[in-house]
């Protein structure tokens, strides 16, 4: 069968996998299809529905109304080969009698990496790897960062004028973008496990950093305050309110704080994100000012940028990044995989930050 058919089926797997968003983390998003190559027919589908529950391959096989013998299984991520909360999917595929496995991408998890493929091949199953690989990697970008670096995936969101300003010289910033853009920001917030901001944003804007979408859980709030500028003993600071959302304060001194706030001493960004990942935080959305934005980009910790741009020009004011001191063009921070969306007159530029290998 030609690869075009496999590509169409793999895209269906990706669509299936997305049904698990918000339910399976920190596991990857996976969809699976059982296909009859002779009849050119999809026999069953499945996806990973909830953390700790059956994987996509298991669900697709359970949904079959006939034998899997000599059939093809299509899955966007290499089947697992180890015992975790569930048995190895590779073993079940072998036991079920599949003739072929079409796989989107190799699992980057060191516990699995190529071991599932090896098991399938040793059992005599034909294996095809790399169908729609880039789309599969994009789907599981958070999982890939988690298991390869033991750090959360970091996305920086900013809202600027056409000339890159996030506020006027008097620090006025409401509202640069339109209501459609602001609604999209709420959707972005709902997709990330935590939101991180700096002391400057807290003191100037006093944001709530919640999700104003019905039935969506508020993210963990991470407050970066290395110079201990924010008074934590006042209910006037919105992010410190005890509203069931987890709150983590990053600072440099042992200070008396309310019991519902967790404190982490700041050493450097690398240590901070390693520690946050150990605490189970897999993805963080940055909504901050120029200072924190700049430091995170300089430190190489930002993986992705979402910049909402409004058709306004301030001509002066606060930039969304500062103090880079770049003299040559080839020293700049480079972005790739750029996508543009329109929200009436506003535009959203989404891009991945290129990093040195």
User: Which of the residues are catalytic?
Assistant: 57
What strand order describes the sheet that includes 41-47?
41-47, 31-36, 72-77, 100-105, 126-129
Kindly write down the DSSP assignment for every residue of 217-282, as one continuous string.
PPPEEEEE-TT--S-SS-TTSGGGS-SSS-EEEEESS-----TTEEEEE-S-HHHHHHHHHHTT--
CA distance 344 to 103: 39
- Pick the closest to residue 93 from 128, 129, 76, 117 (CA basis): 117
CA distance 206 to 210: 12
CA distance 340 to 181: 13
CA distance 71 to 65: 13
Backbone phi, psi, residue 149, to 5°: -125, -5
């Amino acid at each position: 069968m030609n690869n075009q058919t496999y590509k169409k089926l793999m895209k269906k797997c990706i669509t299936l996998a997305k049904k698990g968003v918000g339910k399976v983390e920190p596991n990857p998003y996976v969809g699976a299809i059982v296909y009859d190559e002779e009849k050119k027919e999809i026999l069953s589908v499945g996806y990973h529905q909830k953390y700790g529950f059956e994987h996509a391959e298991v669900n697709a096989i359970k949904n079959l109304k006939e034998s899997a013998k000599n059939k093809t299984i299509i899955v966007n991520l290499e089947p697992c080969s180890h015992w975790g909360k569930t048995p190895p999917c590779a073993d079940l595929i072998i036991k079920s009698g599949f003739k072929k496995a079409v796989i989107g991408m190799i699992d980057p998890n060191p516990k699995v990496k190529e071991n599932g493929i090896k098991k399938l091949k040793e059992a005599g199953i034909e294996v095809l790897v790399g169908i729609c690989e880039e789309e599969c990697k994009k789907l599981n970008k958070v999982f890939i960062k988690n298991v390869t670096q033991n750090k959360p995936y970091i996305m920086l969101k900013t809202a600027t004028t056409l000339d890159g300003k996030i506020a006027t010289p008097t620090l006025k910033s409401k509202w640069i973008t339109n209501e459609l853009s602001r609604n999209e920001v709420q959707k972005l917030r709902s997709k990330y496990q935590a939101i991180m901001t700096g002391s400057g944003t807290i003191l100037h804007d006093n944001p709530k950093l919640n999700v104003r979408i019905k039935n969506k859980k508020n993210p963990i709030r991470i407050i970066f305050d290395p110079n201990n500028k924010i008074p934590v003993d006042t209910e006037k600071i919105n992010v410190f309110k005890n509203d069931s959302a987890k709150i983590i304060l990053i600072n440099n001194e042992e200070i008396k704080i309310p019991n519902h706030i967790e404190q982490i001493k700041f050493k450097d960004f690398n240590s901070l994100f390693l520690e946050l990942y150990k605490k189970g935080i897999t993805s963080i959305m940055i909504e901050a000012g120029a200072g924190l934005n700049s430091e995170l980009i300089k430190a190489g910790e930002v993986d992705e940028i979402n910049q909402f741009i409004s058709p306004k020009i301030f001509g002066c004011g606060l930039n969304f990044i500062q103090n880079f001191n770049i003299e040559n063009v080839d020293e700049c921070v480079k972005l790739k995989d750029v996508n543009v969306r329109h929200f009436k007159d506003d535009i959203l530029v989404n891009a991945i930050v290129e990093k040195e290998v």
